[in-house]
Amino acid sequence: MTVIRSALFVLWMYGLIVVLGTLGLWLLLCPRTWVRAYYRFWLALVFGGLRVICGLRYVVEGTENLPEGGALIASKHQSMMETQAFWQILPDPAIILKKELTYLPFFGWFAVKLGNIVVDRGAAAKALRKMLGDARRWAADGRQILIFPEGTRMAPGETTEFKPGVAGLYSVMKVPCVPVALNTGHFWRAHGILRKPGVATIRFLEPIAPGLPRDEFMTLLKQRIDTATAELDAAAEAQS
């Protein structure tokens, strides 16, 4: 039954992308705020369908740790669920995305219009300079810069070394960095269609003040994310 419900949800989600994407193509010529409102409407339908069809939802903890205005958000990455959820949780995030995602029909086009930060990982130093410049510009406008430091989705219980981009952002932005732990991968798998019923948690942790040396920052960031994620993973396993 879980597989059937999961398949129905996948049809619902991607069907919405095609239908609403087609109907909203004209918005790509309009102000970004219009596209943001339209995207939030799509998300409301997606997560509403997720709850009804699969019995899955998410809760958010630690929002008191989010500073006002520009900030750096560094999140654990286990599934596509949080990539979309952050657009519901945060007022106006700019997410660090790999360039390949912008080639996807509808999703990629709207991702660019929303003002996310696109990174060409094959361009090395040039891509890093562009990412840092874009992040400074958007943070100055009061937006939250969201990066997944591991660089890819990791299965629950797995971790890897953080990529240097998060340290570069922390250094040049000179704003608090808010770590994020989560356990979404237990319910919305990183790969495949399976969506299990339950309640996933996305938790904002204590901010790291700007100005720390690079190595100290990276050690502290990884420690906070890994420790809190292990706790949330255990809580998710208890739901099974």
Per-residue CA distances from 99 to 102, 112, 119, 125 (Å): 6, 10, 5, 15
Is the pLDDT at 123 greater than 60, yes or no? no
**Number of neighbours of residue 177 by Cβ within 10 angstroms:** 26
Structural domains of the chain, count: 1
pLDDT at 73: 96
- pLDDT band for position 192 (cuts 50, 70, 90): confident
For 237, which DSSP code? H
Quote the CA–CA distance of 149 and 133 in Å, as a whole number: 18
pLDDT at 10: 93
Is the pLDDT at 128 greater than 80, yes or no? no
Average pLDDT, the chain: 90
Q: For every residue of 103-118, which 3-state class applies, written as one string?
A: HCCCHHHHHHHCCCEE
Cα angle value 73/77/78 (rounded, 5°) = 150
Find the CATH number of the domain harbouring 199: 3.40.1130
pLDDT at 240: 65
pLDDT at 211: 92
| DSSP H helical ranges for the chain | 2-23, 32-49, 80-89, 107-113, 125-140, 165-173, 214-239
Is the pLDDT at 132 greater than 70, yes or no? yes
- pLDDT band for position 124 (cuts 50, 70, 90): low
**Per residue in 45-67, pLDDT tens?**
999 999 999 999 999 999 999 98
Task: Using CA atoms of 214, 217, 221, 223 in order, give the dihedral in degrees to the nearest 10.
Answer: 100
Range of the domain at 22: 2-239
